[in-house]
Amino acid sequence: MKRVIVCLCVFLAVLGFSACRNKAQIKHREQSAVMLTTSAPSLQSQGNNASDGLKTEGQGRILVAYFSCTGTTEKIARSAADMLDADIYRITPEIPYTQADLNYNNPSSRGNREQNDPSARPVISGSVEGMGNYDTVLLGYPIWHGQAPRIISTFLESYDFGGKTIVPFCTSHSSGMGSSGTNLHGLCPDTVTWLSGKRFPADASNEIIKEWIDSMDIPAAGAHNVGTFDFETRTVLLNSGYEMPIMGLGTYSLSDEQCVDSVTALLEAGGRLIDTAYMYHNEVAVGQGVRESGVPREEIFVTTKLYPNQFDNAAEAIDEALEKMDIGYIDLMLLHHPGTNDVEAYRAMEQAVKDGKIRSIGLSNWYVKELEDFLPQVTIMPAVVQNEIHPYYQENDVIPYIQDLGIVVQGWYPLGGRGHTGELLGDGTITAIAAAHGVSPAQVILRWNLQKGVVVIPGSSNPDHIRENLDLFGFSLTEEEMARMNALDRNEKHDWY
């Protein structure tokens, strides 16, 4: 941060500009409580560019964006981001400022020219492509000649802030924000809520920063419960900013009319999550069931997957899925399992997110080692990882790892899969717990998954079973019952994925 320079005081002006040296950019922290762990790659939540200095928390609701030369504004920004558990983004000029650029005594210096030209717009290196995920943006900057540096104007004019709340703050030696806040507000749409700003001195304490944050009643990003199941709405908020139902229908082995009928039964029973895939050969039927249901499209969440034989031409495969289903957009697309050119296929899905074809993207059948190898090569953090999970194959080491990355876990074969369902539903522990609650063994298993934070997509063509598989909220398992269920783990995988 640059020292405040009072225009009438040349001496202070010289001190202020000379203090704003062109320091090397401080590397942003790459870990967070939700999105990233110390061992995880620095990725963005959906739509954000990790290479641009964005510390991605995954909550996807509050962003602290700042411009700083000497580090003073950066100090305030980092403190605020920590207190709010927010993402942080450093606004970096494409052409860094040199000491000569910031010489107030030289009328022709770059800094003086820009500040004297209201139309000046220094180019920013990088961008926050996922700006749509944020509700609130804290915007920090130093004061130059009583105004914000023109690069802040560039930032505000680079995104659609409509409907968002912007909270400006500045750092300076002595002067206040002056008209900088008002002038910046004028660059935003009328639908922006612009809160009163605050000036901080270079030595502002964390107590002062916290008092300011508390006075605005800004909810911490974690309060939005990304990755936490809401049993009232029966949804989970993904790191992409979209809500997904926590139970639904898997359509593996369902085809044609049987698939349409099953989708219809799910939607009539109040279910809203449908899982399909290219290799299920039923995307057309799923789309038909959705279109003919009479349920508004925005209430339905449809997942499909690209199979490895599509990875070489993923962009075309995405368009093919859209054409087959004919439902406007895909809520979630996954890579079916690792394969040759999976990174390139994922990048095609990232582009489809930018193009509005897909809302969220993720992976299926990726485990710890696969994720450790894969994630450093991509930009958008997966919203969902879908793996085989049931009482005989619990992935108790994998689930927490994925969830600690801010990724939602979804389980296929929750009832054991074809050829194994009978044994699982007849397990003595499970049937005893079911009898104690007056529910079915299938409901016990599905509820066990939900209480572990695992989304369930049991497959069925039986309307009665489909309704039963959605009826999971009239009871809950005790800690002792959860422990008994957890003790059933055999590490017994029922499919090769």
Position 84 in a domain:
yes
206-220 tens-digit pLDDT: 999 999 988 887 765
Domain shared by 158 and 268, yes or no: no
**Cα angle vertex 60, ends 56, 62, to 5°?**
95
Which residues are within 8 A (CB) of 132 and not within 5 positions of it... i.e. 6 or more apart? Answer: 47, 160, 241
Same domain, 424 and 283: yes
- One domain for residues 443 and 474: yes
Which CATH number belongs to the domain containing residue 200 in this structure? 3.40.50.360
Is 492 inside any structural domain? Answer: no
Give yes or no: residues 248 and 184 share one domain: no
Per the DSSP assignment, residues forming a β-bridge with 168 are 139
Question: Is there a single domain that holds both residue 246 and residue 322?
Answer: yes
CATH number of the domain encompassing residue 261: 3.20.20.100
137 - beta bridge partners? 63, 166
159 catalytic residue (yes or no): no
* C-alpha to C-alpha distance for 137 and 291, rounded to whole angstroms: 38
Structure tokens at 402: 């994925």
Which residues have CB under 8 Å from 39's CB, separation 6+?
Answer: 372
Regarding whether 24 and 132 lie in a shared domain, the answer is yes
Residue 5 in any domain: the answer is no
Number of domains in the chain: 2
- Note the pLDDT tens digit of each residue in 120-176: 999 999 998 778 778 899 999 999 888 899 999 999 999 988 888 899 999 987 666
For residue 189, the number of C-alpha atoms closer than 13 Å in the C-beta half-sphere is 10
Domain that holds residue 456: 229-486
DSSP labels, 346-383:
HHHHHHHHHTTSEEEEEEES--HHHHHHHGGG-SBPPS
pLDDT number for residue 241: 83
Where among 169, 200, 224 does a domain terminate?
A: 224
pTM for the predicted model, two decimal places: 0.62
For residue range 386-427, list pLDDT tens digits in order.
999 999 999 999 999 999 898 999 999 999 998 999 999 999
Is 496 part of a structural domain of the chain? Answer: no
> Final residue of a domain: which of 166, 197, 224?
224
Asked if the structure places residue 494 within a domain, the reply is: no
pLDDT value of residue 235 = 95
Phi-psi region of 163 (alpha: psi -120 to 50; beta: other; left: phi over 0): left
Helix/strand number for the chain, H first, E second:
17, 17
Tens of pLDDT, residue by residue, the chain (497 residues): 333 333 333 333 333 333 333 322 222 222 222 222 222 333 444 433 333 344 333 344 899 999 998 889 999 999 999 998 889 999 999 999 999 998 988 999 999 999 999 999 999 999 987 787 788 999 999 998 888 999 999 999 999 888 888 999 999 876 667 677 788 988 988 888 888 888 999 889 999 999 998 888 776 554 456 788 989 899 999 988 899 999 999 999 999 999 999 999 999 999 999 999 999 999 999 999 999 999 999 999 999 999 999 999 999 999 999 999 999 999 999 999 999 999 999 999 999 999 999 999 999 999 999 999 999 999 999 999 999 999 999 999 999 999 989 899 999 999 999 899 999 999 999 999 999 999 999 999 999 999 999 999 999 999 999 999 999 999 999 999 999 999 999 999 999 87
Pair 124, 168 in one domain: yes
Same domain membership, residue 269 and residue 202 = no
Last residue of a domain, one of 189, 224, 259: 224
Residue 14, pLDDT score:
33
- 313 occurs within a structural domain: yes
**What is the Cβ-side half-sphere exposure of residue 497, based on CA atoms within 13 angstroms?**
19
Q: CA 174, 203, 183: angle at the middle one, nearest 5?
A: 45
Write down the pLDDT at residue 174.
66
Catalytic residue among 97, 278, 280, 413: 280
| Distance (Å, whole) CA 137 – CA 66 | 10
